[in-house]
């Protein structure tokens, strides 16, 4: 059995490391913030301590306990808590990063409870770098990708989503809206096409691919 002071140190370390990650989430006003991350870390720490040292009185030649079983249950069980921070808003999934941070903090708590202090502290530092240090880079990458609005003239009934998939390949998954209208007084269709998360390089390639389609007569970029 561990001495009382070391049990307390492990719990306090788990709380401190959990608060470091939780503060970063709290700063951005996510639902799972400071207290949630601290509770997850302390709870995971306590569970592994109880699993490893809480049943010493019943151990014997015929009774063998595996402390890792609790760690496995924490790793899988924390997913339910993480799922609660994931929401669907305006066809976009929000909260995945927070759910991942809650799951990672549970691992930090397990490491602290198991006495792996270096691993717990190092993991916390890496998590903070990922959450806070890489966010500006991620925002710059997102800023370079915008919606693309195209106006396409095509032969009557010669444009379909199947044709679009063949022309764009994997980029067809970025299509947000497609509207096909008969052009008045002509044997042509007027197609309005919107794609999301498109960079400048993607724009040039998408237009080039669409112009190469036999039934497409004209492709022009319009204001999104």
Per-residue pLDDT of the chain (224 residues; tens, 9 = 90+): 678 888 899 999 999 998 988 888 777 766 667 888 888 899 999 888 888 877 666 666 666 667 777 777 787 777 777 676 666 555 556 677 878 888 889 999 989 998 899 999 999 999 988 888 877 776 676 666 678 889 998 888 888 888 888 888 877 878 888 888 888 767 888 889 888 878 777 888 888 888 888 888 889 888 65
How far is C-alpha 213 from the geometric centre of its chain's CA atoms?
36
What are the extents of the domains in the chain? 4-141, 144-222
Helix 34-53 to helix 96-113 angle, to the nearest 10 degrees?
40
Q: Which residues contact 85 (CB under 8 A, 6 or more apart)?
A: 30, 31, 32, 95, 98, 99, 102
pLDDT of residue 123: 92
pLDDT of residue 124: 92
The CATH number of 144-222, from 3.40.50.300, 3.30.360.10, 3.30.70.260, 3.40.190.80, is 3.30.70.260
Instruction: Specify whether the backbone of 8 is left (phi greater than 0), alpha (psi in -120 to 50) or beta.
Output: alpha
Strands (E), the chain: 87-89, 92-94, 146-155, 175-182, 188-198, 216-222
HSE, side-chain direction, 13 A CA sphere, residue 78: 28
pLDDT of residue 55: 67
């Amino acid at each position: 059995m561990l001495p009382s002071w070391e049990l307390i140190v492990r719990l306090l370390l788990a709380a401190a490391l959990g608060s470091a990650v939780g503060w970063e989430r709290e700063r951005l006003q996510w639902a799972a913030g400071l207290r949630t991350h601290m509770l997850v870390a302390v709870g995971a720490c306590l569970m592994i301590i109880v699993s490893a040292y809480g049943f010493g009185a019943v151990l014997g030649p015929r009774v063998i306990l595996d402390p890792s079983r609790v760690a496995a249950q924490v790793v899988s069980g924390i997913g339910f808590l993480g799922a609660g921070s994931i929401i669907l808003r305006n066809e976009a999934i929000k909260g995945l990063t927070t759910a991942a941070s809650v799951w990672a903090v549970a691992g930090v708590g397990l490491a602290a409870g198991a006495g792996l202090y270096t691993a717990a502290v190092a993991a916390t530092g890496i998590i903070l770098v990922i959450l806070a240090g890489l966010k500006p880079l991620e925002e710059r990458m997102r800023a370079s990708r915008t919606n693309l609005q195209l106006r396409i003239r095509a032969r009557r009934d010669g444009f379909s989503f199947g044709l679009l998939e063949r022309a764009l390949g994997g980029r067809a998954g970025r299509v947000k809206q497609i509207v096909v209208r008969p052009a008045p007084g002509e044997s042509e269709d007027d197609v309005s096409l919107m794609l999301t998360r498109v960079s400048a390089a993607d724009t040039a390639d998408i237009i080039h691919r669409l112009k190469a389609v036999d039934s497409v007569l004209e492709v022009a970029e319009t204001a999104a």
